[in-house]
Chain A
Amino acid sequence: MNKYLQIFKPYGKTDKSTIGIMVLFQIIVIALIWLFSSSPLLPKPTEIFSSLGKLISEDNLIQELWTSMALSIKSMLIAIVISLLISYATVVPFFRPLAFMVSKFRFLTLVGLSFVFTMMTHSGHSLKVSLMVFGITVFFVTNMVAEIENVTKNELNHARTLRMPEWQVVWEVIILGKMDVVFEIIRQNFAISWMMLTMVEGISRTEGGIGTMLLNQNKHFHLEAVFAIQIVILLVGICMDYGIGILKNLFCPYAALTLEKR
């Protein structure tokens, strides 16, 4: 009994079986609330799953999902390259104002910028990519620059005492040494990009995508379809997050070793 009471204490010690029971219990409670809810705003699971089947068979949900994923991954890759270049450049004082400025752009709204980006780009696809890249970059640079600024003088001096010239210090301490952090930031920013997707696909609907599909279903008050699409978005997001976690463990196996459990 005492071990079950631990789950209600701050930093209580729990074993795997207790966590399993706890999670199962919470899922059952949520499922029961959902099943017996009489709210018209919450469609029944059966309605949602039947709508999901219809979306797949009649509305090309898989194709639309692929379009969105391709857009998201492409934008993410471009944003990673740009963000890392800007962030790493902050070790050179000349480039610090640029990173500072890019970081502050996170307060701008994408909708407000869409006109400027429309004028600058030549197709709906490049407009969406540009907006996504912009949206991801401003947050990525903010996180990455903060990590670079947290590097201590001792860490840099350690590399210097090993006869490393300053560029090698940057390579060893900032670029290689912070590789695990880059994966963690990618993970967080992928979630942000996945959230932005609906908005961006709403700005330019020419290519379709799951965001466009969601907005169309929303417009016609097809709540069960909206819920079905949201569940797909959530599951894909979780899978991508898990995938990035696997990549992090693959490329930075040491990162997990430093995580001390509370």
Chain B
Amino acid sequence: MNAQKTNTILKAENISLNIGGNQILQDINIEIKDIVRPNVTTGQIVGFLGPSGVGKTKFFEILSGLLEPTTGTVMLGDPLEPVQAGMVGVVQQNYPLFSHRTVEGNLLVAAKKLYPNEKEAKEKMALMLDRFKLSDKAKLYPAQLSGGQKQRIAIAQQLLCSKHFLLLDEPFSGLDINMIQEVQELITEIANFNELNTVIIVSHDIVSTASISDTLWLMGRDHDSKGNVTSGGKIKHTYDLIDMDLCYEKDILSKPKFQDLLKEIRGLFPKL
């Protein structure tokens, strides 16, 4: 598809995290470059895969500026600047929303952060509701929404106040196969809203994450010969799915090359 990688839009250098003497993360270095495809508005999707307990959530908090690493820095944007809470939209696993606000209220409180003008904020909110096909739910409270609707509102809320980065924590957790496909399409659509959009997925669902990602990182830890953990979480393997010609398309799952990749990742998982 002639995709070209241009300038760096996210860079994490030497990230380590030690909590109470436990090495949670160790020497993580990642770099995400803007992907440009001629004549197409396209963002990108980055997947972080790893088994439970490997430190994915902590790394997620560091990337979003919610947690200070013991060492290292996270820079993002174009031009790059140190990350601060609010620069990255974060949708946690349980889709938190303000239960005391209606859908409209939830979106408006977020929109006002980027658009202090009330009228403009309301216009952006209405656009977002329309885009997510949830205009008829505007007056409802979160408790009146289904899990899928809550997820969409949580994503819409974050998109309204962050600029181009969105972190999704386990977006496929607990979903059936139809819902997974719906969420995958939603994530791809969000990534392609804007050329600079970058959606980062933290997950342990190999198939769902790999099939829509442009880049895939596998997080894991070092082990000794007896299988004991000897290091904090680190990036153990990187897959550039653009170079591998395995970017998202409807029938990606039927590609033998993609199936080989899944097999390889599944084989690596127990050792991570």
Q: A160 at the A/B interface (Cβ < 8 Å)?
A: yes
When A257-B141, A257-B143 are in contact, do A162 and B110 touch as well, CB less than 8 Å?
Answer: yes
When A158-B92, A161-B86, A254-B143 are in contact, do A172 and B109 touch as well, CB less than 8 Å?
Answer: yes
Q: How large is the interface on B (under 10, 10 to 19, 20 to 34, 35 or more residues)?
A: 20 to 34
Using an 8 Å CB-CB cutoff, how does the interface string of A155-177 with B read, 1 for contact, 0 for none? 10110111110000000110011
What residues of A have a CB within 8 angstroms of the CB of B100 in the complex?
176-177, 179-180, 252, 254
Using an 8 Å CB-CB cutoff, how does the interface string of A122-164 with B read, 1 for contact, 0 for none? 0000000000000000000000000000000011011011111
Question: When chains A and B are docked, how far (Å) is the Cα of A162 from the Cα of B61?
Answer: 14
Size of interface on A: residues with Cβ below 8 Å to B: 20
Q: How far is the CB of B144 from chain A (nearest CB, A)?
A: 6
Question: When chains A and B are docked, how far (Å) is the Cα of A252 from the Cα of B101?
Answer: 10
Q: How far is the CB of B105 from chain A (nearest CB, A)?
A: 10
What residues of A have a CB within 8 angstroms of the CB of B142 in the complex?
254
Q: A109 at the A/B interface (Cβ < 8 Å)?
A: no
Q: How far is the CB of A168 from chain B (nearest CB, A)?
A: 9
What residues of B have a CB within 8 angstroms of the CB of A164 in the complex?
86, 113
**Which residue of A is nearest B89, CB measured?**
A161
Question: When chains A and B are docked, how far (Å) is the Cα of A253 from the Cα of B161?
Answer: 27
Do A257 and B144 have beta carbons less than 8 Å apart? yes
Do B158 and A161 have beta carbons less than 8 Å apart? yes
What residues of A have a CB within 8 angstroms of the CB of B114 in the complex?
163
Q: A258 at the A/B interface (Cβ < 8 Å)?
A: yes
What residues of A have a CB within 8 angstroms of the CB of B158 in the complex?
161-162
Do A154 and B96 have beta carbons less than 8 Å apart? yes
Question: When chains A and B are docked, how far (Å) is the Cα of A180 from the Cα of B94?
Answer: 21
Q: B42 at the A/B interface (Cβ < 8 Å)?
A: no
**A162 contact from B86, B94, B143, Cβ within 8 A:** B86
Q: B242 at the A/B interface (Cβ < 8 Å)?
A: no
Question: When chains A and B are docked, how far (Å) is the Cα of A173 from the Cα of B101?
Answer: 11
**B61 contact from A157, A172, A254, A257, Cβ within 8 A:** A157
What residues of B have a CB within 8 angstroms of the CB of A161 in the complex?
64, 66, 85-86, 88-90, 158, 162
What residues of A have a CB within 8 angstroms of the CB of B7 in the complex?
none
What residues of B have a CB within 8 angstroms of the CB of A154 in the complex?
92, 94, 96
The 8 closest A-B CB pairs, nearest first, are A163-B86, A257-B143, A158-B96, A163-B113, A161-B90, A254-B141, A160-B85, A258-B143
Interface residues of A (CB under 8 A from B): 154-155, 157-158, 160-164, 172-173, 176-177, 179-180, 252-254, 257-258
User: 24 A-B pairs, CB-CB below 8 angstroms?
Assistant: A154-B96, A157-B66, A157-B92, A158-B92, A158-B96, A160-B66, A161-B158, A161-B162, A162-B109, A162-B110, A162-B113, A162-B157, A163-B162, A172-B109, A173-B98, A176-B98, A177-B98, A177-B99, A177-B100, A180-B100, A252-B100, A253-B141, A254-B100, A257-B141
